[in-house]
Amino acid sequence: MPARRTIIALLALLPALPALAQAELGKAEGEVRRIDRDQGKITIRHGPIDGFDMPGMTMVFRVQDPALLDRAAVGDTVRFTVTRSGDAMVITSLDKTR
Ligand SMILES: [Cu+2]
What is the reported pTM?
0.76
Q: What are phi and psi of 65, to 5 degrees?
A: -125, 125
CA 54 to ligand 1 centroid distance, Å: 6
Give every CB contact of residue 36 below 8 A, 6+ residues apart in sequence: 42, 43
DSSP strands (E only) in 1-98? 24-36, 41-46, 57-63, 77-85, 88-96
Q: Does CATH number 3.40.640.10 belong to domain 24-96?
A: no
- Asked if pLDDT for residue 19 goes beyond 70, the answer is no
Q: What is the model's pLDDT at position 17?
A: 59
CA 63 to ligand 1 centroid distance, Å: 14
- Asked if pLDDT for residue 20 goes beyond 60, the answer is no
Q: What are the residue boundaries of the structural domains of the chain, listed by start?
A: 24-96
Distance (Å, whole) CA 57 – CA 31: 11
CA 11 to ligand 1 centroid distance, Å: 35
Predicted confidence band of residue 14 (pLDDT cuts 50, 70, 90): low
Q: Reduced to 3 states, what is the DSSP secondary structure of residue 47?
A: coil
Using one digit for the tens of pLDDT, what is the confidence trace for 38-61?
999 999 999 999 888 899 999 999
CA 57 to ligand 1 centroid distance, Å: 5
CA 76 to ligand 1 centroid distance, Å: 17
